Copies of this chain bind each other. A is one copy, B any other.
Amino acid sequence: MINERMYELGSKRSVIRELFEFGRKRAAEIGEENVFDFSIGNPNVPAPDEINATAEKLLDTLPSPAAHGYTSAQGDADVRSSIASYIEQAFSFPARASELYLTVGAAAAVTISVRAVTSSPDDEVIVLAPFFTEYSVFVGNAGAKLIVVPPKKPGFGINFEGLEKAITANTRALIIDSPNNPTGVIYTEDELKRLGRLLTEKEKEFGGAIYLISDEPYRDITYGKVVPYVPKYYPDTIVCYSYSKSLSLPGERIGYIFVPSQTYDAPKLYAAVAGAGRSMGYVCAPSLFQKVIGKCQGLTSDLSVYRTNRDLLLGMLREIGYECVEPDGAFYLFVKALEDDACAFSERAKKFDLLLVPGDDFGGPGYVRIAYCTSTDKIRRSRGAFEKLFADYRK
């Protein structure tokens, strides 16, 4: 009687969760400081002081129903105006309040977007491996088919040959995230131009819209490289954004969907986004934090520690002899396992209390993901463990 697929989704612990639980157990045995848990992408940097100050000011000044009442389903109008202004100013790209739909985080944004553009079990949604594991869940929720384009090694840029082959008359959408989770790679302007051309050609060939869902939770965490604004390179783009990582607010669940007016059938698509949100019980994004982020546009946490951590970890692992994908952004390092089976490698790393997530679930077998949103000191102290693991394979 119980939905078996839902049961499986809820009961099968993710590998990340398993590692996390193992880490908790080990920490109790040998002390927190001796467990090198790189499994979870939970920002360790505090939110900027302005966040709490803004929240408290709103609580002190707004009448209760204005602070805590329902907003319209698409989000508070002033907040959407403020985001639209920021998009115009930051990316020199036209945006209006009426093109924005506030969401309960980026996960909701992607789930809703996929649902809005698919309607049949034949509909296909493409992802480029390696990809954020939950995309498969969200595509499954819409009842559509997930098509995985194999990774392009060693740089993990866009695999155009693979993508071209993957696009069919049933393709409804392609999801990308740049900076990428799990590799940290940022797609270049040239890649996005080529992507735009390819998708436009394929739209003509098959005579229908192919929506590009650009999932951008890591947009603001970069190490020098620019993250091009995707809608500039392809009109039929839907932008999904979240404040989880840039403002260290992952638990507050606040983000948005942007359907630019240039997007094919934009007003209808925007309405379908609202309908998809409604159908899944998303009444509105959390009210107080809508207003907080409305007043904190352009602000970020102090993200510099992620760069410090990246440089330290990358230098250290390369010195030891590991083969790493250099991350341009986000806070993940994708490292080649020292044997073909990344799961076995991750298991062996546990002997040294190193918790590394095998890339298999991300569609990147043979690699492990290291989340370096942890203390710099812990990364420094993990050197011995990485050395021992490396030596263990040289025995």
Contacts and interface: CB of A to CB of B under 8 A. Distances in A.
A10 B117 CA distance: 13
Interface string A33-74: 000000000111011000110011001100111011111000
Given A64-B47, A209-B1, A275-B10, A42 B56 contact: no
Given A248-B68, A286-B251, A286-B289, A275 B107 contact: no
A29 interface: no
Nearest to A76: B251
A212 interface: no
Question: What is the interface of chain A mostly: helix, strand, loop, or mixed?
Answer: helix
Nearest to A286: B286
Contacts of A275: 3, 5-11
B70 A250 contact: yes
B281 A105 contact: yes
Interface in A236-294: 248-253, 264-265, 268-290
Contacts of A143: 143
A71 B253 CA distance: 11
A278 to B, nearest CB: 5
Interface residues of A, number: 84
Interface stretch (A108-116, A356-364, A377-385): A108-116
A172 interface: yes
A234 interface: no
A55 B59 contact: yes
Given A59-B56, A248-B65, A2 B282 contact: no
Contacts of A282: 104, 107-108
B279 A9 contact: yes
24 contacts: A1-B117, A1-B209, A3-B272, A3-B275, A5-B279, A6-B272, A8-B275, A10-B273, A10-B276, A10-B277, A56-B56, A68-B248, A68-B251, A68-B252, A108-B281, A110-B281, A141-B279, A141-B280, A143-B143, A253-B283, A253-B284, A253-B286, A280-B280, A288-B288
Given A10-B272, A111-B281, A138-B279, 16 more contacts: A1-B265, A3-B275, A9-B275, A10-B273, A10-B276, A11-B268, A11-B274, A42-B69, A104-B253, A104-B281, A107-B281, A108-B282, A110-B281, A137-B278, A250-B287, A286-B286
